[in-house]
Amino acid sequence: MKGRDYCVVPTVDPPGSASASPLSPSSPAAVPKKKMPQRKWEVHPGRNKFHCNGRIMMARQTGIFYFTVALIVVTCGLFFGFDCPYLAVNLTPAIPVIGIVLFVFTMSTLLRTSFSDPGVIPRATPDEAADIERQIEVPNGQPSPSYRPPPRQKEVVVNGQTIKLKYCFTCKIFRPPRASHCSICDNCVERFDHHCPWVGNCVGKRNYRYFYMFILSLALLCVFLFACVITHIIMRSQKANFLKAMQQSPASVLEAVVCFFSVWSILGLAGFHTYLTTSNQTTNEDIKGSWSSKRGRDNYNPYSQGGIVKNCFAVLCGPTTPSLLDRRGLVEPDPTPQQYTMQMNGTGVRLGNYGAIPTQTTTVQPPAQPQQGEEGDQTESRIWFTEDMKEKA
């Protein structure tokens, strides 16, 4: 009998067998724990804070926002507790109703401004960023570590006015018209107005109308409280002297001081944003003088609708655009490396991509001389190939 060549085919031990590997797929230790899918707000690259599973979006620095809320709530609470009962009985019961309506509307617009996406533009994907970076030429060959390419610009025409689109090196995108990068939140924001620490958020395309209504309603609330507090003190002083009237209602004095020092700045801010709304401008554009006639006779605001009423309707009554972030969407997992399993068929070994690699137990033994009557009784875990199938032992 001639010598036989052989090859060893690895076999997979059945689950529960004594020779099964402790790291076999049937073993509990080998079963990988499933990771909870991440939401996109959890991996957001900007400096923002999210609450309620991504439904609430704010800036990371929110200390002044909480001070704003506390100042409004405490002042109105003192008013409803000490001034309203007296004025409702001695003047008119409509005062508490007006105060409640103004307070609820002011707080609603404040929270709507603070908790919403101002219009953040998503950053470019790695493929998009790489494609744009390839267009940026590096002078003199090799770039130095401190080298920063000059800002690239594109030009578009909006209503006959040429607008330059600047390239954002942080977000790796060409910013659309009226957009700007907020250095505090580290995001590019559509129709960026400014970053307001008092509301704890940026003010942009998606929340400017709520910010303007908050400023306007806060100004009305402040004037209303100041007028009611002064009226309360004067009505009490008619029955007694002025000092005794202040002693009888010390909370009214505190409210009057807070409203007096707040009303001027709030009224000025409301008037300034009324001017911006009627001219369809942003704070950023007004400060930079983007549409000022000083830049040339042909320089004008291409976004103006041609009238005060039309501009107000365009800014305050236009449709609210959906958020571009998809904050609560699931993050797509990165593709895993190609994994293979070994499958045996009737002729040999075949590799297949099935996403898992079971543990194989391979036994290598030298060829044994078959005894008489045991020629066809071979071990199931080995496949014997005869060099010359026509010869017999």
Residue with structure tokens 């405490």?
74
| Lowest-confidence pick of 32-46, 132-146, 215-229 | 132-146
| pLDDT, position 391 | 46
Three-state DSSP class for residue 313: helix
Mean predicted lDDT score pLDDT of the chain = 79
Catalytic residue (one of 76, 182, 185, 196): 196
Give the count of beta carbons closer than 10 Å to the beta carbon of residue 253: 14
Question: pLDDT, tens digit, for every residue of 55-97?
Answer: 999 999 999 999 999 999 999 999 999 999 999 999 999 999 9
Q: Is 232 exposed, middle or buried (0-12, 13-18, 19+ CB in 10 A)?
A: buried
pLDDT at residue number 28: 53
Are the C-beta atoms of 291 and 299 separated by less than 8 Å? yes
What average pLDDT score do residues 158-175 get?
90
Region of 211 please: left (phi>0), alpha (psi -120 to 50) or beta. Answer: alpha
Structure-block tokens of residue 165? 């689109």
Question: What pLDDT digit, counting tens, does each position of 188-225 carry?
Answer: 999 999 999 999 999 999 999 999 999 999 999 999 99
Neighbour-count burial for 283-297, b at 16+ CB within 10 Å, e otherwise: bbbbeeeebeeeeee
Question: Looking at the predicted structure, is the pLDDT value of residue 315 above 80?
Answer: yes
Q: How far is 216 from 267, CA to CA, in rounded Å?
A: 8
Query: Residue 338 — very low, low, confident or very high, per pLDDT cuts 50/70/90?
Result: very low
Q: Tokens representing 196?
A: 């307001």
82-85 long-range contacts (CB < 8 A, ≥24 apart) are: 82/249, 82/251, 82/252, 83/228, 83/229, 83/232, 83/249, 83/251, 83/252, 83/255
Residue located via tokens 């031990």: 13
Which residues contact residue 121 at a Cβ distance below 8 angstroms, ignoring those fewer than 6 apart?
171, 173, 175, 176, 179, 187, 188, 189, 190, 324
Q: Mean of the pLDDT values across residues 1-7?
A: 48
188 is catalytic: no
